[in-house]
Amino acid sequence: MEERLEVLKVHIEQAGYEGQSDVIKKIHFDVRQGELVGLLGPNGAGKSTTIKSILGLLKDFKGEISFLGERRSYAYIPEHPILYDELTLWEHMEFAAAVYELDRTVFLDRADDLLRRFRLLDEKHHLPGKFSKGMQQKIMLILGFLNKPDVYIVDEPFIGLDPKAIKDFLGMLDEERKRGAGILMSTHVLDTAERICTSFVLLSGGRLVANGTLQDIQKQCGMPDAPLFDCFHSLL
């Protein structure tokens, strides 16, 4: 079988904020090509702090984050849309394409495909400030998928999307995994995580509680065949 490379290596010794520099400690895990890793844990467990560490946003950080290749090729899809009031949807896409230095033909192809998939073709010249929350969230997905990066870092994608949009999103993630991208996704929606993730990183109180496939985690908590939800509660 073809070797699957690590697209993201996370070695956090400690990270945090002014006043508490060790909110999270000793968080070590990898994301390989084709993997969808679920980043799970109760409120305040340290998922966002872990994501901020990976994105290089924390001053108080000790450890090492490595991406595959010299150029960090990743897309971050935030939980809450971050959009410019004065730019139309299409202008957001053009802006992202310029930042990613996408070839014009490739951009136009991908842009058309993504707008169709997420059913925003008719709104492409509208200002997103007037869009619904779900529609704004879909823009963040479109901007993330435009670049086809090595790594996706997705923060709680399921809140606010309708079932059809979730299905479109999951279909797109699947295609990207098959292409060789690796995905790290934080979520509280455990039944969906159990269905789609290839492995899990479970955090609690800023520490790594479990890291592995569902089978590994079932073994760790001595509950073979138990759903992720039950393992999660047993381990916490």
CB of 59 to ligand ATP, least distance (A): 11
Region of 46 (left: φ > 0; alpha: ψ -120 to 50; beta: rest) is left
Distance CA 39, CA 124 (A): 32
Q: Does 17 bind ligand ATP (CB under 6 A)?
A: yes
Q: Does 23 bind ligand ATP (CB under 6 A)?
A: yes
Biggest distance spanned by C-alpha atoms of the chain: 54
Q: Does 45 bind ligand ATP (CB under 6 A)?
A: yes
C-beta of 33 vs 186, nearer to ligand ATP: 186
Q: Does 46 bind ligand ATP (CB under 6 A)?
A: yes
> What's the number of CA atoms in the CB half-sphere (13 Å) around residue 166?
12
Q: Quick one: which segment of 44-52, 63-71, 95-103, 126-134 binds ligand ATP (CB under 6 A)?
A: 44-52
Q: Does 49 bind ligand ATP (CB under 6 A)?
A: yes
> What's the number of CA atoms in the CB half-sphere (13 Å) around residue 229?
6
Integer-rounded Cα radius of gyration of the chain: 18
Distance CA 56, CA 130 (A): 32
Q: Count how many residues are written for the chain.
A: 236
Q: Quick one: which segment of 42-50, 55-63, 120-128, 159-167 binds ligand ATP (CB under 6 A)?
A: 42-50
| Residues 59 to 88 in contact with ligand ATP, rule: CB under 6 A | none
Q: Does 53 bind ligand ATP (CB under 6 A)?
A: no
Q: Does 44 bind ligand ATP (CB under 6 A)?
A: yes
Q: Please provide the DSSP assignment of 62-76 as one string.
A: EEEEEESSSS--EEE
CB of 233 to ligand ATP, least distance (A): 16
Number of residues that bind ligand ATP (CB under 6 A): 10
C-beta of 45 vs 172, nearer to ligand ATP: 45
C-beta of 180 vs 205, nearer to ligand ATP: 205
Q: Which whole-number Å values give the CA distances from 44 to 21, 76, 125, 235, in the listed order? A: 15, 20, 39, 16
Q: What share of the chain is helix, strand, coil (3-state, %, to 5)?
A: 40, 25, 35
* Contact with ligand ATP (CB under 6 A) among 41, 144, 149, 160: 41
- Tell me which residues touch ligand ATP (CB under 6 A): 17, 23, 41, 43-49
